[in-house]
Amino acid sequence: MIIIVTGTPGVGKTVVSKKLSETLNLNYLSLSQFVIENKLYTEYDELRQSYIIDEDKVKEELEKIISTNHLVIETIYPSLISTADLVVVLRKNPFSLYNELKGRGWADIKVAENVEAEILGVISQEAREAFKDKVCEVDTTEMSIEQIVNKILNKQCDGPIEWLVDTKVQRFLEELDKIISSYENDI
């Protein structure tokens, strides 16, 4: 069995993935850690403080592991994984997510880009394109880990989640765009 837990940074992927793997007695794999440990990246982006992955190498190395294991895979890149029995996209209210990421001390550009991705449902869309009917979205806003895991185990999906129906979120997206645009020369 392969379960993918995905979503933007700050939605709870790590704790949910670890709890799911423990509950279901499956191995846990953090794709980010896997990439770093196996040097499956091309460079380090100083501005965003993150690695630029080598997608072809990641896919190749993942295939070796997926074919012989039952896993819960935590990732922000669901389409890099070739197969899954279930794909859980964790979502979080953009205002809560913004506060979470700012609290981590991240650069404004990194926070703005990740919250914008959440608002626009970038990872959710990627997951749906790659896995269609195997996708379950769960809104993690103000939920405990146990509540989130129980929703997943009981297949109580919330999605598709559309943040842009809220005019406050639409205005927030405009503010995030201004932040991102201010870094235009650095990108």
From the annotation, which residues make up the binding site?
10, 12-15, 104
**HEC letters along 67-96:** CCCCEEEEECCHHHCCCCCEEEEEECCHHH
Residue numbers belonging to the annotated binding site for ATP: 10, 12-15, 104
Roughly what angle, to the nearest 10 degrees, separates helices 122-131 and 108-120? 50
Given the structure tokens 């185990």, which residue do they identify?
Answer: 153
The structure tokens listed for 170 are 């639409």
Sheet holding 71-75, edge to edge: 27-30, 71-75, 2-6, 86-91, 135-139
Largest CA distance in the chain: 48
- Contacts of residue 132, defined as CB under 8 A and 6 or more positions apart, other chains included, come to none
Q: Which of 182, 133, 178, 126 is nearest to 155 (CA)?
A: 133
The size of the chain, in residues, is 187
